[in-house]
A and B are shown apart, each in its own frame.
Chain A
Amino acid sequence: MLHTVNKSPFQKNSFDTSLRLSRKGSDILLIEDAVYAALKDSAIAKTVKQAVTTHSIYVLEPDLMARGLQPARLIKGIQIVGYEGFVELAVKNDKVQSWL
């Protein structure tokens, strides 16, 4: 199952909720302001590093770029995809939940 999140984890709990209410092994795609969750050295980096070991975490490249975030600043194990990759994730998974 694919879970998308679009809120900054520093503003709203959508990312936390997506972790709590997704099964282990699910795909989570960070889009829009949720891309900030991928930053290493942040106050929530520990949670995200842990999540990378239980879920497959992806981040949308155009939204990273728009916000000036370089790949080198991201937590290891988070995979970068474009809109084509977003579509592929939605195809590969049999359902999609958007945590807004």
Chain B
Amino acid sequence: MKFGIVINEGPYQHQSSDTAYHFTKAALAAGHTIVRVFYYHDGVNNGNNLATPPQDDRDIVKRWSALSKEHNLDLVVCVAAAQRRGIVDADQAKRSGKHAENLADGFRISGLGQLIETGIEADRLMVFGD
């Protein structure tokens, strides 16, 4: 079965990114496919590779990157939400004259249309948020 995952909240502030992560892992372990993970609202902060959590805590950003690498997951950050919150890839940093890029490995920035497409492609759309 094909799942789409939507995450509306940032890491550490709210449990939704953790719940989504464990759900995604369990779905993959059961042999299901993840069409896409879509990060929306403050959820785009899950793709900020400048995050440096203390060593005794989980590294939520790295954990998503690693899962993406292992299972070839499509991790998409909503462009409008990302721009408002300062999550930028190399290309956008260049175009908008920002001094840094901070999009984590495995993530890409795209439009809200990808959320609708996920809903169309997936058999089930799972929303995690606040």
Contact = CB atoms under 8 A, between A and B. Distances in A.
A and B from one complex? yes
A96 B125 contact: yes
Contacts of A84: 26, 29-30
A63 to B, nearest CB: 8
Please report whether the interface of chain A is mostly helix, strand, loop or mixed according to DSSP. Answer: helix
- The number of chain A residues touching the other chain, given as a range, is 10 to 19
Given A83-B22, A83-B23, A91-B1, A98 B30 contact: no
- The number of chain B residues touching the other chain, given as a range, is 20 to 34
B30 A32 contact: no
Interface of B: 1, 3, 8, 15-16, 19, 22-23, 25-27, 29-30, 32, 124-130
Interface of A: 6, 31-33, 62-63, 82-84, 86-88, 90-91, 95-96, 98, 100
